[in-house]
Amino acid sequence: MIPTSEQDEQKEQNIMLITDYIRACVAGATVDGREIPDQAIEDMATTYHPDTYSAKIWPEHIRGIAPDGMFKALGDVVQAKAERIKGGALAGKLALYVKIAPHQDLIAMVRNGQKVHLSIEAQPNFANTGKTYLVGVGVTDSPASLGTGIMKFSTAARSENIFSTPQETPINLPSDSDMTREDFQQLLKPLYTRLGDIEDKLEQQYKAIKKDTDEIISLSMPLPSVETRMRINGYSGHREPHNGGDSDRKRNIY
């Protein structure tokens, strides 16, 4: 029997979403006239690993102070790869693709049509290696790179949804003359086991639905003013557009 804490951990792993590869940036000229080198994309694809340095997902590249604040991390980058685009207006250009593990807040944003594009944070000469490393990803509606993918999340692919085809539980009944109380209890054991499994899966389904319900309720509640939220989260003043300059602390943001 697996201990309860391990069962809970396994349930959490089962419902954690990891996306397919999403196009995060494309080599070449950006919207504002900067250049994303092919070599930078190749470096990020070959060097990125969460154990080396885990790239978090941030709203508009802003890092908040409070863990539950307005600008908290919205997920993690799991994998990265480089691949040339095969069709369309950008065919032949090298692109960086990432798999991400979004938190529930980001999923709610994207379902509401907000912050659906990725915007990478590239650190040149990462840790004196001479290579560019992917140190973070922003979610935005105005990326600098051309050809970024659009995130879409759906509940349809939930693995914990148990409402599928019925499963048979065979029970071999002996003749009435041979039936005893002990025989009957023994016959019911597979049914009890099946009911226990269904109860566990229903609890998992309930938790997943409750999360979505809580998100909807929170979105319908009155929000404090932007000024108040910025003050609560330790953020003040105005931020310049993401241009890869000094305001972005020497990271190249595309």
- The catalytic site residues sit at 32, 61, 119
Distance CA 60, CA 74 (A): 11
Are the C-beta atoms of 205 and 162 separated by less than 8 Å? Answer: yes
* Residue among 109, 97, 60, 92 at smallest CA distance from 239: 60
Q: Could you write out the three-class secondary structure of the chain? A: CCCHHHHHHHHHHHHCCCCCCEEEEECEECCCCCEECHHHHHHHHHHCCCCCCCCEEEECCCCCCCCCCCCCCCEEEEEEEEEECCCCCCCCCEEEEEEEEECHHHHHHHHCCCCCEEEEEEECCHHHCCCCEEEEEEEECCCCCCCCCCCCCCHHHCCCCCCCCCCCCCCCCCCHHHCCHHHHHHHHHHHHHHHHHHHHHHHHHHHHHHHHHHHHHHHHCCCCCHHHHHHHCCCCCCCCCCCCCHHHCCCEEC
Measured CA to CA, the distance from residue 62 to residue 72 in angstroms comes to: 8
